[in-house]
Chain A
Amino acid sequence: MRAALIRYSPLLILALAWQLTSQFELVSSTALPPLSEIGTAWLDLLTSGDLQKNAAPSLYRGGVGLMLAIAFGTVLGIAMAWWRPVNVALGPLVEAFYPMPKSALIPVTVLWLGFGDGSKILLILLGCMLPVTIGAYNGARSTEHLLVWSARSMGASRLRMVWDVVLPSALPDLLNGIRTALALAFILMVTSELIVAREGLGNLIGFLGANGSYAAMYAVVLTVAFLGFAADRIYQVFMQRALAWRETGIA
Chain B
Amino acid sequence: MSGTASAAEPNAGRAVRAAAWAVAHLGSIAGLLVGWELFARSGAVTMFMLPPFSAVAERIWAEAVDGNLWLNIGLTLYRAFVGFLLACAIGVGLGIAMARTRWARWFFDPIISVGFPMPKVVFLPVVILWLGVFDVSKITMVALEAVFPVVTATVLGIQGVGHELLWSARNMGAKDRELLWQVLLPAAFPQIMTGIQVALPIALIVAVFTEMAMGGFGLGGAMMQASRFADSRGVFAGIVEIAVVGYCVVKGLAIVRWRLLLWHQEAVAPSTV
The chain A residues found within 8 Å of chain B, CB to CB, are 7-8, 10-11, 14, 30-31, 88-108, 110-112, 134, 137-138, 145, 183, 186-187, 189-191, 194-195, 202, 205-206, 209, 214, 217-218, 221, 224-226, 228-229, 231-233
Q: Using Cβ atoms and an 8 Å threshold, which residues of chain A touch B199?
A: none
Known interface pairs A99-B247, A104-B243, A195-B212. Does A10 touch B119 (Cβ–Cβ under 8 Å)? Answer: no
Would B117 and A103 count as touching, CB distance under 8 A? no
Per-residue A-contact encoding for B212-229, CB less than 8 Å = 1, 0 else: 110000011001101100
**1/0 per position for B97-131, CB-CB distance to A under 8 A?**
00000000011111100101111111111101110
Task: Give the secondary structure class of B's interface.
Answer: helix
Interface string of B226-252 (1 = CB under 8 A from A): 110000100110110011001101110
B205 at the interface (CB under 8 A from A): yes
B207 interface residue (CB < 8 Å to A): yes
Instruction: Tell me the minimal C-beta distance from A146 to chain B in angstroms.
Output: 13
- Which residue from A10, A94, A183 sits with its C-beta under 8 Å from B110? A10
Partner of B124 from the list A95, A183, A194, A232 (CB cut-off 8 Å) is: A194
B117 in contact with A107 (CB, 8 Å): no
Complex: how many Å from CA A106 to CA B221? 12
Instruction: Tell me which residues across on chain B come within 8 A of A217, comparing CB atoms.
Output: 125-126
Given contacts A108-B235, A209-B125, A221-B126, contact A99 B118 (CB under 8 A): no
Question: Contact check: which of A99, A108, A187, A209 meets B246 at CB < 8 Å?
Answer: A99
A228:B247 contact, CB within 8 angstroms: no
Closest residue of chain B to A134, judged by CB? B273
On whether the beta carbons of A191 and B209 are closer than 8 Å, the reply is yes
Q: Indicate whether B196 reaches chain A with its CB closer than 8 angstroms.
A: no
Asked if A10 and B108 make an inter-chain contact with CB atoms under 8 angstroms apart, the answer reads yes
The distance in angstroms between the C-alpha atoms of A88 and B129, with both chains bound, is 49
Instruction: Report yes or no: A138 in contact with B125, Cβ–Cβ below 8 A.
Output: no
Residue of B nearest to A27 (CB): B130
